[in-house]
Amino acid sequence: MAELESGARFDYVIIGGGSAGCTLAARLTEDPDVKVAMLEAGGKNDGLLVRMPAGVGQLIANKGPSNWGFETTPQKHVDNRKLYQPRGRGLGGSSAINGMIYIRGHARDYDQWRQMGLTGWGYADVLPYFKRSQHHEDGSDAWNAEGGPLWVSRGPPGDPIYKAFIQAGKQAGFPVTRDFNGYQQEGVGPYHLTIRDGERWSANAAYLQPVIDRPNLTVISGAHAHRIIIENKKAVGVEFSGGPGKPAQSVFALREVLCCGGAFQSPQILMLSGIGPADELQKLGIKVESDLPEVGRNLQDHLDVCIIYEMTKPLSMYSKTKGLKQPMIGLQYLFAKQGHGRTNHLHAGAFLKTRGELDRPDIQLHLVNAVMQDHARVKADRDGFTIHACQLRPESKGTVKLASANPYENPLIDPNYLAEEVDRRTMRDSVRIVRDIVSQDALNLYRGAEFKPGSHIRTDAEIDAWIRQSAETIYHPVGTVRMGADAKAPVDGDLRVRGIENLRVIDASVMPTLIGGNTNAPTIMIAEKLSDQLRGKPALPPQDARIAEDEMASAV
């Protein structure tokens, strides 16, 4: 990776080489006269575990070179537990360790952003950017496109249990949907995956690697940004170093600094730079550049529970990976790119409503053909399958704060999970819905005893207690530098930081509300959209997908 002379000048300096950072680096350097530097705290991220989709479990479970492995503050409404928070580190960021599920959220999530006064962020406005980023192996239709960098596929055929689960959902009375990103999100159906030819297709693989040799792009890994350099209320560069105790260097931006550190670290970097709640910054001895009390507020995340069933036959990952089978899977993948290593083992799920009157699904399910406990940190000791259930739009909101003015100290992450009764009720309902689906005939071949929570857990109070004991994140924190048309929002609808010139935040932290689904494709969409604006290009023409939605619905 490139070495950098201290004081080097570029048009743009990007902090963070994750989903958003890689997208911006690739798009901005399409203009050969524009010079871009990207600073990434982690490394190249090109090892086998990152490339092989089945490596996902180990990447998530272990803090290490690819995973910051944060934890939350004690969570008051979740038995005072500190919850593990994996986050991607190194090129590709969280897209290099994520579950590879390709989901955009519900159309109304974006229409809600537009209704909040965020012109240009309605579903019709963002759909063309989702499509521009995508290459769907199945070809194009009203919602999907070919030719973009982000490869989307159905992956290798999953185990038969995935089809049985979809059938069970149908037997339970839910609709079946073939594409959660298409005309109808609601239902049970197959997941589409960011996997290309048996390889994880992270933002690094999709956007950065194809262009990494461009002469106008300088990628510096192992470069931890300490703070944005601000002169006279204008961002002019970034101070960084190669690690704690290493000498600090500076890099300068002639046009803009683009902060893409993700939902936990973008607010941290802003606050370290004097942008945030003035009283808190002053207490830590940080000079205030822009008093923005909402930096680090509005944290929203998907909390999740794992409802686990034993399996009556040796058909789950436990039997398939027992003993020497696991290393064989790695070798088979390494030498022939074949076998179980090609899949993420997440082939089916659901978006469902816990109450009929809702205008869109409020829970999401992910089926895994394995016993999954504590982010796969508990080794499975039996055959079984797990259904993850999470609430899509929690009302509980939390914070990210600085622990100190030291850029190497982890921020204080407090998602404030389950503070609101509606969130507790929705999680409880999700357990009952999963039980109903799993009780259907289609799963007779697989279903053994309910392992977690266990069939003895029945009443509201018992289910609530179990949720408090076992709930964990399913990795979608957003909102900590929310965009808004109101003056209190830290960034405006063009993602410019209020009170500081030449500085934008472009990543998952700007989402004002958590979208109903996984957040990688939405983050890439945000970066795609901003790249046009930074390049002075007109926004892509809106596409009103609701027309197509009506046509499709009447054709079904």
Q: What is the contact surface with ligand FAD in residues (CB under 6 A)?
A: 15-21, 39-42, 60, 86-89, 93-95, 97-101, 103, 224-225, 260-263, 265, 269, 475-476, 507-508, 518-521, 523
16 or 384: whose CB is closer to ligand FAD? Answer: 16
Q: Which of 226, 345, 375, 476 is catalytic?
A: 476
**Closer residue to ligand FAD, CB minimum distance, 119 or 408:** 408
**Distance (Å, rounded) from C-alpha 340 to C-alpha 356?**
39
| Cα distances (Å, whole numbers) of residue 165 to 102, 155, 433 | 19, 17, 13
Report in angstroms how near the CB of residue 555 gets to ligand FAD at its nearest.
29
Q: Output the DSSP codes for 206-268.
A: IIIGGGTT-TTEEEEES-EEEEEEEETTEEEEEEEESSTTSPPEEEEEEEEEEE--HHHHHHH
CB of 277 to ligand FAD, least distance (A): 19
- Taking the least distance from each CB to ligand FAD, the nearer of 86 and 122 is 86
Alpha-helical (H) ranges within 9-133 are 19-28, 48-51, 56-61, 107-115, 123-133
**Shortest reach from residue 407's CB to ligand FAD, in Å:** 6
C-alpha distance from residue 202 to each of 83, 197, 503, 524 (Å): 25, 13, 26, 11
Burial grade of 554 (CB within 10 A; 0-12, 13-18, 19 or more)? exposed
Instruction: For residue 135, give every residue at least 6 positions away whose Cβ sits within 8 Å of its Cβ, in sequence order, or none.
Output: 145, 146, 147, 148, 149, 150, 151, 152
Residue closer to ligand FAD, measured from CB, 200 or 447: 200
Contact predicate 393/219, CB 8 Å: no
366 is catalytic: no
For residue 185, the minimal CB distance to ligand FAD (Å) is: 14
Task: Compute the least distance from the CB of residue 201 to ligand FAD, in Å.
Answer: 11
CB of 510 to ligand FAD, least distance (A): 9
489-to-310, 496, 498, 504 alpha-carbon distances in Å: 47, 10, 8, 13
Q: H/E element holding 448?
A: strand 447-452
Q: How far is the CB of 415 from ligand FAD (least distance, A)?
A: 14
How big is the CA angle at 302 (ends 299 and 304), to the nearest 5 degrees?
A: 140
Q: Cα–Cα distance between 309 and 172 in angstroms, integer?
A: 18
Angle at 193 between CA 17 and CA 27, to 5 degrees: 35
Report the alpha-carbon distance of residue 225 to residue 192 in Å, rounded. Answer: 35
Q: Which residue has the tokens 């998530």?
A: 60
Q: Which two tokens stand for residue 424?
A: 């507790």
Farthest CA pair distance, the chain? 68
What is the C-alpha separation between 415 and 400, in angstroms, rounded?
Answer: 8
Which CB, 300 or 440, lies closer to ligand FAD? 300
Contacts of 547 (CB under 8 A, 6+ apart): none
Nearer residue to ligand FAD within complex by CB, 99 or 516: 99
Q: Which residue lies nearer to ligand FAD by CB, 436 or 494?
A: 494
First-last CA distance in the chain? 52
Q: Which residue is nearest to ligand FAD (CB)?
A: 18
3-state SS, residue 111 = helix
Q: Which residues pair with 88 in a beta bridge?
A: 67
60/418 with CB nearer ligand FAD: 60
Residue number, 99 or 394, with CB nearest to ligand FAD: 99
Residue 122: both structure tokens together = 């309605």
Smallest separation, CB 45 to ligand FAD (Å): 8
> 243 vs 327, which CB is nearer to ligand FAD?
243
Please write down the HEC assignment for all residues of 500-548.
Answer: CECEEECCHHHCCCCCCCCCHHHHHHHHHHHHHHHCCCCCCCCCCHHHH
Least Å distance, CB 223 to ligand FAD, is 6
Is the bond preceding 160 in cis, omega lying within 30 degrees of 0? no
Q: State in angstroms the smallest separation of the CB of 162 from ligand FAD.
A: 15
Active site residues: 476
